[in-house]
């Protein structure tokens, strides 16, 4: 039987304590079926360790623990105290930033500096929702002189949270902060590619004062534990971030079981539009960051770059130079901006998109190749000479690959910007205020950035139009997904017709 805790090393922290079990009821346990799975370091393709795998039976156990907490002690915890626990959890994230970030860099492959940024943002998110916990209020609604009505915003109940591997800790915080602030309980399943940081974060849950069963963290596969969550009869809500294909399956599973509430944060193919009056150097730095940040593994990645005709030649030259300067390599090396892709599967998917692009007649301006022979490193890649119908322009690649093309007018920019089934994000680069606002108004996307990119903030709602999702995360808007309104109507005037 594998251990529930092991000593692991990262190049940054030396030895640390890595839990490997399932975190249920504030305790570390093994899966009922006794299964484990291997965790891979994407930088060198070695096995880091094995973790315990949750199957359907473990999901049942975790749901019972969560339900018991929801019906029992958690209901009686005052909102202010829930807030205090979330704030404490945020403090603990910050106190443990070095180890949390190092584990993230080891398992996911992102640069240590970026991982530290994720930890800071996760702490910011948890603290922000800690602040909301005692500010979730209903209303008094006056309908007649002999009635007293009020509404309450009540928690939904047991929330099954399924997260991806691109921002393991950040997604952990997005899925826990608003749910807990609103008084729900949580069972979170991390992605099978990156289970380690979520388990280290789980060690902080009891320290922050959460009663047993309020936050449960399991490792496991989508088709097993993930499917068990989305079809479970005693989970009241499922929140998912990941592929659109799986998002559809989750909706179906919810529809086929107990009609649990569903929120989805799915893919994107976001346009990054540069007008001729933009500050070109700023625009290039944001276009570069827009696609290559997190190795292109962002649901909101600015993967379609559109540049106004008159500046196109100058822009592409400078953008190429900028992309070629991005330091790709060891996540633990101080200068690294881009690490490896997360897995062999993702690496293969991206390389096949690159081959497809070439076959379809697009031109590789820069990149297009693997770097080295060990680890899933891919050169920052730019495709030009593309047409709107090409696969590389229409489908989410989820790697360091963008396409670039020209447009003539504002109308054309809006029309090609919206020429996608997705609608997660978009950006406009211009120094003209009217252009910025007019184009932002017309783009069908949940977030529009002007003269910036990928600058998410926990106070600002984030989510998709069209096939990019349902519901919003972050900001006050996320609380709507974790509360349900109860109306209480009190008759003051005696009997009907009386
Ligand atoms: P995925 O959608 O399969 O995985 C995301 C999460 O869903 C993981 O926790 C996984 O275990 C779970 N899952 C998988 N199948 C499930 C099922 N049937 N029921 C319940 N949960 C399930 O994504 P994958 O395969 O890792 O990546 C494929 C593509 O998805 C990427 O190339 C990218 O285009 C997109 N993606 C988008 C993300 C986003 O942030 N919106 C994040 C990760 C992937
Ligand atoms: Mg890994």
pLDDT tens, position by position, 272-317: 999 999 999 999 999 999 999 999 999 999 999 999 999 999 999 9
Nearest-ligand number for the alpha carbon of 223: 1
Is the pLDDT at 62 greater than 90, yes or no?
A: yes
Residue 53 Cβ contacting ligand 1 at under 6 Å: no
Please say whether the beta carbons of 273 and 426 come within 8 A.
yes
Query: 314 C-alpha vs ligand 1 centroid, how far in Å?
Result: 38
Residue 164 Cβ contacting ligand 1 at under 6 Å: yes
Across the chain, mean pLDDT equals 97
Q: How confident is the model at residue 1 (pLDDT cuts 50, 70, 90)?
A: low
> CA of 139: how far to CAs of 96, 136, 486, 488, in Å?
40, 10, 10, 10
Q: Which one from 104, 192, 265, 396 is the annotated catalytic residue? A: 265
Q: If we measure between CA atoms, which residue out of 116, 111, 75 comes closest to residue 99?
A: 116
Please say whether the beta carbons of 174 and 473 come within 8 A.
yes
Is the pLDDT at 418 greater than 70, yes or no?
A: yes
| Rounded CA separation 301/281 (Å) | 19
| Rounded CA separation 173/90 (Å) | 9
Is the pLDDT at 453 greater than 80, yes or no?
A: yes
| Rounded CA separation 437/424 (Å) | 18
Residue 252 Cβ contacting ligand 1 at under 6 Å: no
Residue 195 Cβ contacting ligand 1 at under 6 Å: no
245 Cα nearest atom in ligand 1: 2
Q: Whose CA is nearest to atom 35 of ligand 1?
A: 243
Burial-class residue 47 by CB neighbours within 10 Å (0-12, 13-18, 19+): exposed
Three-state DSSP at 64 gives helix
Q: How confident is the model at residue 498 (pLDDT cuts 50, 70, 90)?
A: low
Is the pLDDT at 199 greater than 80, yes or no?
A: yes
Nearest-ligand number for the alpha carbon of 331: 2
227 Cα nearest atom in ligand 1: 19
Query: 391 C-alpha vs ligand 2 centroid, how far in Å?
Result: 28
Q: Whose CA is nearest to atom 12 of ligand 1?
A: 222
Give me the domains of the chain, ranges plus CATH numbers.
Answer: 5-266+468-485 (3.40.605.10), 271-450 (3.40.309.10)
Instruction: List beta partners, residue 49.
Output: 39
Nearest-ligand number for the alpha carbon of 190: 1
Is the pLDDT at 217 greater than 80, yes or no?
A: yes
Question: Can 265 be counted among the known catalytic residues?
Answer: yes
Q: Whose CA is nearest to atom 9 of ligand 1?
A: 191
Structure confidence at residue 473 (pLDDT): 98
Sign of the CA dihedral running 478, 185, 120, 29: negative
| Rounded CA separation 203/463 (Å) | 29
Query: 89 C-alpha vs ligand 2 centroid, how far in Å?
Result: 24
Structure confidence at residue 161 (pLDDT): 98
Q: If we measure between CA atoms, which residue out of 157, 155, 159, 156 comes closest to residue 229?
A: 159
Q: How confident is the model at residue 85 (pLDDT cuts 50, 70, 90)?
A: very high
């Amino acid at each position: 039987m594998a251990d529930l805790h092991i000593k692991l090393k990262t190049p940054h922290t030396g030895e640390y304590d890595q839990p490997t079990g399932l975190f249920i009821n504030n305790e570390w346990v093994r899966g009922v079926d006794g299964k484990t799975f291997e965790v891979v370091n994407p930088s060198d393709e070695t096995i880091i360790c094995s973790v315990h795998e949750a199957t359907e039976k473990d999901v049942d156990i975790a749901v019972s623990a969560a339900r018991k907490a929801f019906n029992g002690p958690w209901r009686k915890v005052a909102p202010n105290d829930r807030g205090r626990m979330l704030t404490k959890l945020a403090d603990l994230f910050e106190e443990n930033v070095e180890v949390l970030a190092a584990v993230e860099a080891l398992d996911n492959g992102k640069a240590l500096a970026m991982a530290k940024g994720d930890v800071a943002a996760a702490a910011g998110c948890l603290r922000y929702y800690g602040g909301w916990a005692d500010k979730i209020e209903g209303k008094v609604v006056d309908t007649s002189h002999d009635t007293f009505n009020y509404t309450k915003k009540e928690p939904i109940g047991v929330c099954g949270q399924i997260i991806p591997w691109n921002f393991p800790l950040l997604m952990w915080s997005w899925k826990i902060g608003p749910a807990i602030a609103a008084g729900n309980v949580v069972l979170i399943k991390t992605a099978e590619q990156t289970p380690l940081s979520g388990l280290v974060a789980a060690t902080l849950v009891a320290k922050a004062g959460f009663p047993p069963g309020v936050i449960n963290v399991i490792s496991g596969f989508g088709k097993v534990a993930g499917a068990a969550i989305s079809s479970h009869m005693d989970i009241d809500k499922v929140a998912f971030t990941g592929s659109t294909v799986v998002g559809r399956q989750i909706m179906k599973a919810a529809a086929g079981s107990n009609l649990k509430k569903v929120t989805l944060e799915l893919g994107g193919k976001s346009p990054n539009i540069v007008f001729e009056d933009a500050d070109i150097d700023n625009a290039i730095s944001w276009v570069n960051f827009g696609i290559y940040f997190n190795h292109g593994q962002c649901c909101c990645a600015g993967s379609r770059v559109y540049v106004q005709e008159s500046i196109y030649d100058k822009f592409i030259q400078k953008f190429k130079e900028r992309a070629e300067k991005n330091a790709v390599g060891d996540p633990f090396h101080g200068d690294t901006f881009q690490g490896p892709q997360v897995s062999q599967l993702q690496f293969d998917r991206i390389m096949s998109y690159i081959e497809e692009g070439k076959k379809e007649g697009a031109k590789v301006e820069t990149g297009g190749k693997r770097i080295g022979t060990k680890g899933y490193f891919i050169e920052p890649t730019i495709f030009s000479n593309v047409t709107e119908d090409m696969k590389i322009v229409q489908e989410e690649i989820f790697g360091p690959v963008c396409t670039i093309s020209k447009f003539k007018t504002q109308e054309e920019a809006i029309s090609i910007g919206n020429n996608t089934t997705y609608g997660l994000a978009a950006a406009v680069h211009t120094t003209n205020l009217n252009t910025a606002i007019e184009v932002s108004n017309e783009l069908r996307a949940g977030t529009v950035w002007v003269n910036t990119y990928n600058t998410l903030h926990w106070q600002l709602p984030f989510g998709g139009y069209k096939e990019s999702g349902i519901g919003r995360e972050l900001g006050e808007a996320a609380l709507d997904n974790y509360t349900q309104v109860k109306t209480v109507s009190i008759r003051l005037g005696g009997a009907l017709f009386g």
